[in-house]
Each structure stands twice: as structure tokens, then as C-alpha cells.
Amino acid sequence: MLNYLWAFMILAGILWAVPGGNVAAVAQGVLGAAGEAVSLCVTMLGVISLWTGILKVGEKAGLIDWLAGKMTPVLRFLFPGIPEGHPANRFIAVNMIANILGLGWAATPAGLKAMEELAGLEEERREQSKNAVPPAAASREMCTFLIINISSLQLIPVNMIAYRTQYGSRSPAAIVGPAIAATAVSTAVAVLFCRLMERKDRSGR
């Protein structure tokens, strides 16, 4: 995907520059952009190292596991169809907590395990012919899990703060509150949508 996107930017841009007489500007722009990327990384080195360091402290102290344990009521509400004590619960909880903290690398492996467990759960349902979806189709829980995941759960957008610092923002962290509010809106819409679809889904079968 990115291969085409990047090729399009470069090729279409250069082609467009020729009739517009902007070739010289493009030449300058290319060299400028490359240098700028490096200076951006220097700023990010500071902010990101600080943050990954802090999060490592939390991770080693068992913060993810501790918080994941607190997620039970949320999971019962979002996924009433997953039996209590099913391993999917744990993986989903870890994935969500890691996303909330902005630990992308911890979120994805747990998320993939959760999908695997959800696939297993649906397989069991098929065997017991308890209104399950056909194979190769997403189960209700998978849809809910992914929609909520994609609605974004991150509390502190550290990368964005680093970028804003680099470009001379007067208060780089000013967007944290609004970003949490916007994330709350998108997640609320996601939860509402999943609820509605689940109801429709159940009555349709």
C-alpha cells in the first residue's frame, strides 16, 4: 500500500512540476525535506526516549497486568458473549490497556492472540450449533474488538507532542485534553454502533 502511495507522491509530483515550472523548487524541497527529517528525529530522540523509559518502569512494575485485571467490568459490558475466565478476556484487556498507554508494540501481539482466541470461541459455537457465524466470517466479538480498537484509545499522543515541539509550538502538550475528548467521542460512537449491530445481529438469526 505504502509503496504505491509513496511512488504516487514522488512520480506525480515531479511530473506535475515540469509544466508548472517548479522543478527547481522540487529539487530544493527534496534536499530540504531529507535534512528536516533528521532534525525532527533528534527532537524525537529526547521525547520518545523519555516516554518509553517511563512506560518501561510501569511495564516492569506490572502496571499492564494490574490494570488489565481492573478491566473485567468493561469487558463484561462490551463482550457479554465471552464466558468468564475465557483466555480471550485477558488478551483483550492487555491489548486495550497497552493501547490506552500508547504501547503499540505490546498491544499488537496481545491483540492477535485475542483474535485467535475469539476464532476458537466461534469454532466451539459452530460445533455446538449455537447461532455462530460461518467460517471465514468475523464473529460479533471480533467486530466489536476491532471497531473499538480502531476508534483509538490512546491517552497521551506522545509522538504528536514531539512533532509539535520540533515545529516551535508554544505549548506542545495543549492538545492532550482535546485529543482525549475526541478519542472519547470516537470510542463512544464505536461502542454505541457495536451495541446496535449486536442487537440487530441477534434478532436477525
Phi-psi map region of 132: left, alpha, beta (phi>0 left; psi -120 to 50 alpha) = beta
Cell numbers at 102, concatenated = 500508547
Give the footprint of another protein on residues 5-34 (CB under 8 A).
5-6, 9-10, 12-14, 16-17, 20, 22, 25-26, 28-30, 32-34
> How many angstroms separate the Cα of 15 from the Cα of each of 2, 9, 25, 34?
20, 10, 13, 20
Q: Does 194 engage in binding with another protein (CB under 8 A)?
A: yes
Q: Does 180 engage in binding with another protein (CB under 8 A)?
A: yes
Q: Does 154 engage in binding with another protein (CB under 8 A)?
A: yes
Give the footprint of another protein on residues 79-98 (CB under 8 A).
none
- Nearest approach, Cβ of residue 20 and another protein (Å): 5
Q: Which is nearer to another protein, 81 or 187 (CB)?
A: 187
Q: Are 97 and 69 in contact (CB under 8 A)?
A: no
Q: Are 147 and 79 in contact (CB under 8 A)?
A: no
Judged by CB under 8 A, the number of residues near another protein is 99
- Selected from 92, 93, 98, 118, the binder of another protein by CB under 8 A is 118
Q: Does 111 engage in binding with another protein (CB under 8 A)?
A: yes
Place of cell 504505491: 4
Give the footprint of another protein on residues 34-73 (CB under 8 A).
34, 36-38, 40-41, 44-45, 48-63
> Environment class of residue 108 by beta-carbon count within 10 Å: exposed (0-12), middle (13-18) or buried (19+)?
middle
